[in-house]
Amino acid sequence: MAGKFFEVLKKDHDEQRELTKKFKKEKSSSEWKNLFQEIKKELQPHVKGEEASFFHRLKDSEDREIRLETLEKLQEHDVMEHLLEEAHNMDQTSEEFWAKVKVLLEINEHHIDEEEQETFIVMKKQFSDDELDSLLDKFNQEKEKVKKEIG
């Protein structure tokens, strides 16, 4: 069904926005760790799913503008992966931890807004409805695979 992929991505993004709001509001350092776990579980499979599906196709686009946009998004994914890893290895009750996760979430908020405002439009132009359906399958497969890997 046309448009399904966008609904699925938007739903994930809204979940990320919800967790971001919760984390930013949370004053109790004992809760940060749990929220971070939820954020990590939500973010990693989503990001890997995107990379294995539409970004994988767009990064080799003939169109320079599309390639540059895609590389920018992938670079943001890398930065977020790096921050997730660092935060994972920190004292998760420390203020430094809170600051790191907050920066990660702010990068992500900007990132998902741009995906919705820019990448979705590129995808609609570049892919047929059938292609979008098969890219959605790929996205879901990769997401499930990563979910299992990270437990």
Q: Which residues bind Fe ion (CB under 5 A)?
A: 50, 115
Task: State the nearest-atom distance from the C-beta of 44 to Fe ion, in Å.
Answer: 11
Task: State the nearest-atom distance from the C-beta of 127 to Fe ion, in Å.
Answer: 16
Quick one: which of 94, 11, 97 has its CA closest to 46?
11
Of 69 and 115, nearer to Fe ion (C-beta) is 115
Of 11 and 33, nearer to Fe ion (C-beta) is 11
Task: State the nearest-atom distance from the C-beta of 108 to Fe ion, in Å.
Answer: 8
Distance CA 104, CA 78 (A): 11
Of 23 and 115, nearer to Fe ion (C-beta) is 115
AA identity, residue 114: E
As given in the structure block, the two tokens for residue 132 are 């979008």
Q: Is 30 exposed, middle or buried (0-12, 13-18, 19+ CB in 10 A)?
A: exposed
Of 98 and 142, nearer to Fe ion (C-beta) is 142
Task: State the nearest-atom distance from the C-beta of 27 to Fe ion, in Å.
Answer: 28
As given in the structure block, the two tokens for residue 79 are 């930065």
Task: State the nearest-atom distance from the C-beta of 129 to Fe ion, in Å.
Answer: 20
Of 115 and 142, nearer to Fe ion (C-beta) is 115
Helices 129-150 and 29-52 sit at what angle, rounded to 10 degrees?
140
| Helix count and strand count (H, E) for the chain | 7, 0
